[in-house]
Structures are given as structure tokens and as C-alpha cells.
């Protein structure tokens, strides 16, 4: 079964509103989680590394004020897309790092559509 | 930065055929991972490789960690329709607290019944 739960799987919102996506590790603690964005027929693009108890590390070109990340517990990271615009429409995927196995496990993804 | 070249970009095969895809890197990796992604879903881990030369199987799937640590291949034997999807290789460069993965661009596999 799934070891990482991502919610919601699909969200439609109006331009200018904010959307929160949750990522939970189900049977292990994850001090490190990752947020990716994926465009159609393309590979995963890392947006940021989410670190429990500290600030997220953003990749170059990713606006930290636009994509707010909170990793308040060892099993939950959230990504908030603030003041969403149509160009933010995309497939967002999280992963959780299981350090003892050196493996990233992925959530099922969230399809965001901004009208 | 690190680059992963994954090939082929796409494959169209008949059910029952074997499939091979590979990734090469400009950098040495300490870990190679192979994932499969179905449409509208997140990637699912198929095989993890940790040592140069390591050959690991998972059912009809076999993957190897290249001796040079700059390449890896994935083989699928006796393909079936549910093998359809996008296959990604991913590598991790170093140990410590850097857990970031570098992904290949994916191989789209289509299996004709």
C-alpha cells in the first residue's frame, strides 16, 4: 500500500485564491520531504526541499513567497500555492525521504487547475 | 549540475517482448533508483541499487548499477499490457544530508496486446 499520502488529488480554484496541499508519510518519520512540479510529458522538476523544524530550501527560480512550505512535524509537509494564477496550473508531487533505506517515496500527486 | 541521459525516449513493443532502457550520467552516483509513473499518478519505486556492479531483480524487472557508477539499465522481460507507463531513472550523487535526486527525462513504454 501507499507509504506517502498526498491530498487533495485534484483541486480547481479561482485566480487569486490560495491552495494548500498536504503530504504525509504514513508509516515512517521523514525529516526531509520534497516538492516537485511536473508538466505534461516531462520529467519531475524539484521545487524545494522541506526540512522538519527549519526553513525549506528552494531551487533556483522558485519563488518562496509564492510556494509556501511548512514541515511542522515528522510526518507532514504542506505546500501552499498563494495567490494562484492560471500559469500555476500543474501536477504537483511530493516525496518523503526514508533515510534508513535511502529511498524517496512519492505521493500520488495533486492536479491543480486555476481558472 | 548533474545531467541524466535516459534512452530511449519512447518504445512501442508487442506483448511478450523484452524491453531494455538505460541511463547515463555525467557524474558518479552512489544510488540509482528506477520508478514507474502511470498517468495522473505519482512515481512508484521499482528497484533501488546501492553498489557499483549490483544486479537486482523484482519479478520480471532487472536493473543493474554500472561499474563506472555513471550508468544503469532496466530490463523488463515478457512484457504485458500493464507495463505501459513512463519509466524514470533517478540518481543520488552523494551521501550525508543531501538527499536530492536527479531524474532522467523518462521512457514512455507502450505495449500492444
In degrees and rounded to multiples of 5, residue A83 shows phi and psi of: 45, 60
Instruction: Write down the pLDDT at residue A103.
Output: 87
Q: What is the pLDDT of residues B4-44, one digit of tens each?
A: 899 999 999 999 999 999 999 988 999 999 999 999 999 99
**Cα of A97 to nearest chain B Cα, Å:** 7
A87 three-class SS: helix
Binding-site residues on chain A for chain B (CB distance < 8 A): 4, 6, 32, 34, 41-44, 46, 49, 91, 93, 95, 97, 99, 101-109, 111
Rounded CA separation A102/B95 (Å): 9
Ranges of beta strands (E only) in A1-115 are: 4-7, 10-13, 19-25, 32-38, 44-51, 57-58, 67-73, 76-81, 90-98, 103-106, 110-114
Q: Report, as ranges of residue numbers, the positions in chain A whose pLDDT lies below 70.
A: 1-2
pLDDT at B97: 65
Amino acid at each position: 500500500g501507499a507509504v506517502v499520502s498526498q491530498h487533495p488529488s485534484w483541486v480547481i480554484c479561482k485566480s487569486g485564491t490560495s491552495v494548500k496541499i498536504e503530504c504525509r508519510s504514513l508509516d515512517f518519520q521523514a525529516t526531509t520531504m520534497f516538492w516537485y512540479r511536473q508538466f505534461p510529458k516531462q520529467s519531475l522538476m524539484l521545487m524545494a526541499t522541506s526540512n522538519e523544524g527549519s526553513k525549506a530550501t528552494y531551487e533556483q527560480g522558485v519563488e518562496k513567497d509564492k510556494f509556501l512550505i511548512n514541515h511542522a512535524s515528522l510526518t507532514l509537509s504542506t505546500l501552499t500555492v498563494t495567490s494562484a494564477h492560471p500559469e500555476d496550473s500543474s501536477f504537483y508531487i511530493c516525496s518523503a525521504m526514508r533515510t534508513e533505506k535511502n529511498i524517496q517515496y512519492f505521493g500520488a500527486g495533486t492536479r491543480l487547475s486555476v481558472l | 549540475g548533474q545531467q541524466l541521459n535516459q534512452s530511449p525516449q519512447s518504445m512501442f513493443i508487442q506483448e511478450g517482448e523484452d524491453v531494455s532502457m538505460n541511463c547515463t550520467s555525467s557524474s558518479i552516483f552512489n544510488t540509482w533508483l528506477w520508478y514507474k509513473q502511470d498517468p495522473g499518478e505519482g512515481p512508484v519505486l521499482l528497484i533501488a541499487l546501492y553498489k557499483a556492479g549490483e544486479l537486482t531483480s523484482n519479478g520480471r524487472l532487472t536493473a543493474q548499477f554500472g561499474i563506472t557508477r555513471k550508468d544503469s539499465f532496466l530490463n523488463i522481460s515478457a512484457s504485458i499490457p500493464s507495463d505501459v507507463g513512463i519509466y524514470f531513472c533517478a540518481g543520488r550523487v552523494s551521501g550525508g544530508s543531501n538527499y536530492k535526486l536527479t531524474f532522467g527525462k523518462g521512457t514512455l513504454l507502450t505495449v500492444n496486446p
